[in-house]
Structure 1
């Protein structure tokens, strides 16, 4: 009978896949022996496979290069990384090694930019696209960067006051972009994005605040929709509306030469994932070419801002099944030795699904289960896979430990979960491992962060302060006597 877990996978998907294969009956991820990782470092465990960041950047660059060549596109392509997806130094170092640019979203991002400049990771030629609603400190930091000579720092205007605020803070001339407040998909709770300026208001805004302002040059129009890049009528309709605004602006604004089509490339969330990236890039480039030709304007340089696509597929998390609880005749709960709410918060907050596979015991028979976390919160669970609406794992056996991995978790989870901070029910942050390749292609691992200890959490909660006060009081008391 074909009742082994490996049989289930073989019957359901094409397997092995580029990043997943079995060796010695255990799962390997990009040639990384995950059971050895478990044996060396223990679980729960998070890891970042840094080479995948460069792999995805180079894939995207090739798709655009091929499309530019095919359609004889006259503009340039610039790949930007959205730092908000993961601000970690090791992520930025790997991404920037591929000759890319970055997008920022808050004041402290600019401090990271300055640190990267001092380290020689970026230069004044690197584009720094500053998005987001800009409060005083963000405005001040952007102005400092531009005043220090970083002319390719381009603040993307989000509201009607930002031009005046930037003009006051910046000493000389500077370039800006304008973000379009795109219309959301019909199923959304609201009609128009809170970010940017509405389609109909952009040309009047340019005429009123930028056209006659000798300090400001409009360089870029920024387009982004919340659902990301998808091959559906909604995406193509919004892109065409954006292109109509771009061509109308270009006719009255010679300095406008760039179109930022945002980001939103999906990442693999299932073994059944199927998305034709090359086709989408080809068609986007083709549509921009056609509309600009129809309107008689030069094609823009194209910028993209890929965050999750850049870093998402580099991340993973490994847990151990501690125990199985059968709460009724139909539901079996496999309890992991960590928490989904704290380590994979998107599974709880937006019901996001990641690729989930066992690390070992693929030749054992399987069963349908639910996965539960350690917190006392009823929402700390993971109950369905994107492709089958159920979780199947090798049968629980207390004498045969089972380890499971969640993959492509590299974007947002640490920042949303509050890396190094307090966690729900004081569940500690897992140990974090970095994986890199040397010049010969050999894998090397190093510990980026150890698992949180109780002293870290007690300190954050103020208990060490109480101990310090108590100790000082005792010292004073002893001095008096």
Structure 2
């Protein structure tokens, strides 16, 4: 009878896979020896493999370029990075190596764009698509960016009031986008998205507020589906409604020539993951072209805003199992040395599942377990896989620590978890490393930030460094340059 963990994986999935394989009995991720990382840096450990960001950008470009050629589609494709997925400098540096455009969500995003421009990483040829509800500070920053010469800034109107604010903030006519308030999936508590302008009001809004206003030129129509780009009747129905609105508006507004199909591609969350990216792209362009050709309207240039797809599959986090707790006849808990609530908050907030695999002990027997974090909160747990309503892991051995990895965690987790700040039960922020390749293709690792120490946490809470519990000798002091540690 085959009872080893490697047997379970072999019987259930095609393995090894593109990014996962075993090397000397332990797990490798994109040829990164994860046990070597554990031995060198300890756990809990967050890591980001930068080359995967470029890989996914180039994959998407290839899918769209191939579909455009195949369908003889007359428009162009423009890849935008959705910065809210991860604002870190090392992420933007990697993203911008690929000459992509930027989509923003708030006022501070514009400050980041200006910083990138000053460093020569963005120039006036890059589109800056400004989404989100635009309060005064956001509009002020957009106006400054436009007035300083960035003419490819396109604010996407989310509500009527934004027009007056933008008109007061800029010194010359600007290009605009309009966001359609899509209808939500049936299982949510509301019918229409709070974002954008209702699809029945888009054309009248254009006629009354934009058409005769010399300060604005409508360039882009934007729609966003919260569930992402999925092969479902719901998605295709919303896309069709959006294209119909584009066609109607184009007949009245010749300068309208861009369609932003917001909502991203899904990312791999299981070894059983299966998604026909190439086929979905071809179907999207086919439907747009078919409808436009039928109405004798030129097809739009296509913009996408990929956030999770861009950065999600680049990152992971490794925990160690501290101990095993047998609570009753059915529940065997593996307690990790961190917290899911603080390090993978989506697992707690929306019950999101990530791809989880052990790093070592693949040739040991496996058992059904529950994973628990170290906070005193009963919700700090992880209890099932995306493909299975259970978790199976190699049996715990106190003498030989078990390390487990959660993969494709690069989008949103740091921002939602409050990177660098106060976290639930004062669980410290883990150490974070960045992995890249040198000119010879060899892996290079850098420490971006060390695990939070108690002094940093107490300072955030307002405690003064004059108490008896402050022990300088216990604290590793580091100087940071651009986020990377140097001794």
TM-score, with structure 2 as normaliser = 0.95
Match of 1:410 in 2: 410
Q: In 2, distance between residues paired with 1:467 and 1:385?
A: 46
Structure 2 regions of 5+ residues with no counterpart? 469-487
Query: Which residues in structure 2 correspond to 1:16-415 (within 5 Å)?
Result: 16-415=16-415
1:191 to partner: Cα distance: 0.4
Task: Quote how far apart the aligned CAs of 1:440 are.
Answer: 1.7
2:180–2:221 CA contact under 8 A, matched in 1: yes
3-state SS of 1:261 partner:
strand
Per-residue CA distance 1:32-87 (angstroms, 9 max, x = gap):
00000000001110000100000000000000000000000111110000000000
**Runs of 4+ off more than 2 Å:** 465-468
1:263: how far off?
2.6
Instruction: Give 3-state SS (helix, strand or coil) of 1:405's partner.
Output: strand
**Separation in 2, partners of 1:55, 1:331:** 41
Please say if residues 46 and 318 of structure 2, whose CA atoms lie closer than 8 Å, have aligned partners that are also in contact. Answer: yes
Q: How far apart are residue 187 of structure 1 and its match?
A: 1.4
Q: Deviations over 1:409-436 (max 9, x none)?
A: 0000000000000011111000000000
Give how far 1:465 is off. 7.2
Task: Give 1:466 deviation, angstroms.
Answer: 7.8
Cα drift, residue 397 of structure 1: 1.1
Q: Distance in 2 between matches of 1:467 and 1:393?
A: 44
1:12 aligns with 2:12: yes
User: 1:467, 1:180 → 2: CA distance?
Assistant: 56
Conservation of the 8 A alpha-carbon contact between 2:46 and 2:317 = yes
Match of 1:462 in 2: 462
Q: Distance in 1 between matches of 2:284 and 2:345?
A: 33
- Alpha-carbon distance change, 252 to 406 in structure 1, aligned in 2, over 3 angstroms: same
Alpha-carbon distance between aligned partners in 1 of 2:465 and 2:442, rounded to the nearest angstrom: 46
Whether 2:432 is the aligned partner of 1:432: answer: yes
CA shift for structure 1 position 467: 6.1
Distance 1:252 1:465, change over 3 A: farther
Match of 1:472 in 2: none
Contact 2:226–2:263 (CA under 8 A) maintained in structure 1: no
Deviation of 1:399 (Å): 1.1
Q: Distance in 2 between matches of 1:58 and 1:151?
A: 26
